[in-house]
A and B are shown apart, each in its own frame.
Chain A
Amino acid sequence: MEILKLENLEKHFEVHSRSRVRRNLIRAVDGVSLAIPEGEIHSIVGESGSGKTTLGRMVAGLLEPTSGSVVLGGVDMFRSGRGEIRNLRKSIQIIFQDPYASLNPRFTVRQILEEPLRLNRLPVQEGDLLDTLRQVGLTPPEDFTGRYPHELSGGQRQRVAIARAMIVRPRFIVADEPVSMLDASMRGSFLQLILSLRKRDGITMMMITHDISIAHYVSDRISIFYRGKVVEQGRADDVVLNPAHPYTRALIESVPSFSRGDSEGSRHPEVPSDVPDPATGCMFRNRCPKAMVACEAVPGATEIAPAHFVSCHLYGGTGVK
Chain B
Amino acid sequence: MRGTGLFIEFLHNRKGAAGLAIVAAFTFMALFAPFISPYNPTSTNPQAFLLPPSPSHPFGTDNLGQDLLSRDLYGAQISLIVGLAAAGVAVAIGLVTGLVSGYFGGLVDEVIMRIVDFFIVIPALVIMIVVAALLGPGLLNVIAVIGFLSWAPVARIIRSMVLSLRERPFVESARANNGGSLYIMFRHIFPNVSSVLYGNAMLAVSSAIFTQAALVFLGVGNVTSISWGGIIREAYTTGALTAGDMAWVVPPGIFIFTLIFGFILIGYAVEEIMNPRLRGGGSG
Q: What A residues does B283 contact at CB under 8 A?
A: 98, 100-101
Q: Is B280 an interface residue (CB 8 A)?
A: yes
A62 to B174, CA, bound (A): 10
Q: What B residues does A100 contact at CB under 8 A?
A: 281-284
Q: Is B106 an interface residue (CB 8 A)?
A: no
Q: What B residues does A268 contact at CB under 8 A?
A: none
A97 to B173, CA, bound (A): 12
Quick one: which of A62, A98, A105 contacts B280, CB cutoff 8 A?
A105
Q: Are A105 and B177 in contact (CB under 8 A)?
A: no
Q: Are B178 and A89 in contact (CB under 8 A)?
A: yes
Q: Are A105 and B192 in contact (CB under 8 A)?
A: yes
A86, A92, A94, A164 interface centre (most CB from chain B within 10 Å): A94
Interface residues of B in 157-195 (CB under 8 A from A): 168-170, 172-179, 183, 188, 191-192
Q: Count A-B contacts at CB 8 Å.
A: 75
Q: What B residues does A119 contact at CB under 8 A?
A: 174, 177-179, 183
Q: Are A96 and B172 in contact (CB under 8 A)?
A: yes
Say whether, besides A150-B277, A150-B281, A115 and B177 are in contact (CB < 8 Å).
Answer: yes
Say whether, besides A102-B170, A103-B170, A61 and B188 are in contact (CB < 8 Å).
Answer: no
Quick one: which of B174, B177, B178, B192 contacts A106, CB cutoff 8 A?
B192
Quick one: which of A94, A97, A149 contacts B281, CB cutoff 8 A?
A149
Q: What B residues does A92 contact at CB under 8 A?
A: 176
A271 to B43, CA, bound (A): 91
* A89 nearest CB neighbor, chain B only: B178
Q: Are B172 and A62 in contact (CB under 8 A)?
A: yes
Q: Is B278 an interface residue (CB 8 A)?
A: yes
A97 to B172, CA, bound (A): 12
Q: Are B188 and A104 in contact (CB under 8 A)?
A: yes
Q: Are B176 and A60 in contact (CB under 8 A)?
A: yes
Say whether, besides A101-B283, A105-B282, A150-B280, A94 and B178 are in contact (CB < 8 Å).
Answer: no
Mask, A46-68, CB within 8 Å of B = 1, is 00000000000100111000000
* A103 nearest CB neighbor, chain B only: B170
Q: Is A209 an interface residue (CB 8 A)?
A: no
Q: What B residues does A61 contact at CB under 8 A?
A: 176
Say whether, besides A89-B178, A100-B283, A94 and B278 are in contact (CB < 8 Å).
Answer: no
Q: Are B169 and A98 in contact (CB under 8 A)?
A: yes
Q: What A residues does B278 contact at CB under 8 A?
A: 105
Say whether, besides A100-B284, A104-B188, A105-B192, A86 and B178 are in contact (CB < 8 Å).
Answer: yes
Q: Is A11 an interface residue (CB 8 A)?
A: no
Q: What A residues does B188 contact at CB under 8 A?
A: 104
* A88 nearest CB neighbor, chain B only: B178
A34 to B44, CA, bound (A): 91
Q: Is A120 an interface residue (CB 8 A)?
A: yes
A96 to B174, CA, bound (A): 12
Mask, B250-284, CB within 8 Å of A = 1, is 00000000000000000000000000011011111
A105 to B168, CA, bound (A): 11
A86 to B176, CA, bound (A): 9
Q: Is A116 an interface residue (CB 8 A)?
A: yes
* B2 nearest CB neighbor, chain A only: A148
Q: What B residues does A104 contact at CB under 8 A?
A: 170, 188, 191-192
Q: What B residues does A89 contact at CB under 8 A?
A: 176-178
Q: What A residues does B170 contact at CB under 8 A?
A: 101-104, 107
* B284 nearest CB neighbor, chain A only: A100
* A106 nearest CB neighbor, chain B only: B191
A90 to B176, CA, bound (A): 8
Interface residues of A in 106-123 (CB under 8 A from B): 106-107, 115-116, 119-120
A101 to B166, CA, bound (A): 11
Minimum C-beta distance from B163 to chain A (A)? 15
* A60 nearest CB neighbor, chain B only: B176
A94 to B284, CA, bound (A): 20
Q: What B residues does A164 contact at CB under 8 A?
A: 173
Q: Are A62 and B175 in contact (CB under 8 A)?
A: yes
Minimum C-beta distance from A316 to chain B (A)? 41
* B191 nearest CB neighbor, chain A only: A106
Q: Is A93 an interface residue (CB 8 A)?
A: yes
Q: Supply 17 further A-B pairs (C-beta < 8 A) apart from A101-B283, A119-B174.
A: A57-B172, A60-B172, A60-B176, A89-B176, A92-B176, A98-B169, A101-B282, A101-B284, A102-B168, A104-B191, A105-B192, A105-B278, A105-B280, A105-B281, A106-B281, A115-B174, A120-B177
Interfacial residues, chain B to chain A (CB-CB below 8 A): 168-170, 172-179, 183, 188, 191-192, 277-278, 280-284
22 contacts between A and B (CB under 8 A): A61-B176, A62-B172, A90-B177, A93-B177, A94-B172, A94-B176, A96-B169, A96-B172, A96-B173, A97-B169, A98-B169, A98-B283, A100-B282, A101-B282, A101-B283, A102-B169, A102-B170, A107-B170, A115-B173, A115-B179, A116-B177, A168-B177
Ranked 7 nearest A-B pairs via Cβ: A105-B281, A102-B169, A96-B169, A101-B283, A106-B191, A104-B170, A119-B177
